[in-house]
Amino acid sequence: MNIIQTDIPGVVIIEPRVFGDERGYFMESFSQAQFEREVCPTVFVQDNESCSRYGVLRGLHYQLPPRSQSKLVRVVEGRVVDFAVDIRVGSPTFGRYVAVELTGENHRQLFIPRGFAHGFVTLSQRAVFQYKCDEYYAPDHEGAVAWNDPTLAIDWRIPTGDVVLSEKDRHHPRLEAARLFDYGEKLY
């Protein structure tokens, strides 16, 4: 796999090696040993999958300590723009984000460490999204930031009128009012 560093340390893009021929393709989507050697030491304990239609925006979600999560995300069908937002108070990149287009064709993955909010928006008619988590889902440790917080100024790459939200995602606080991480807390 090819590891691409982003503008925010710890957030990396992973491009697996894809071998194609007239039958289709083969790729190794994950190797624990290689991930630990080239990205960071972590053990993923839960795999999740969602299916969304065009305009569905999920986020910006995270889990707080002591149940914080790192995520490794990818799209197996369709096209999304995925976001990792630094929400570590005191971080030199606090409030900044990384945006990456993930598609079933480019096979890219994004690693989002602890201390980051995560969200994505579906650009295709349908997208199947998978993610690995290194901590189990813990609803009493959930945190979130409003997707349209003006201090973040995220370009979701679709018209605002096309955004489809869950009832829960309509009511998240702005960054200034959200429960956040402290810079220096363990990321992995």
Selecting among 61, 141, 183, 188, the annotated active-site residue is 61
Selecting among 97, 107, 131, 172, the annotated active-site residue is 131
Instruction: Give yes or no for a contact between 70 and 34, defined as CB atoms under 8 angstroms apart.
Output: no
Closest CA to 130 of 108, 115, 162: 108
Instruction: Give yes or no for a contact between 188 and 113, defined as CB atoms under 8 angstroms apart.
Output: yes
Residue 131 catalytic? yes
Q: Is 64 exposed, middle or buried (0-12, 13-18, 19+ CB in 10 A)?
A: buried
Q: Which two tokens stand for residue 34?
A: 């290689």
Residue 61 catalytic? yes
Q: Is 141 exposed, middle or buried (0-12, 13-18, 19+ CB in 10 A)?
A: middle
Residues forming the active site: 61, 131
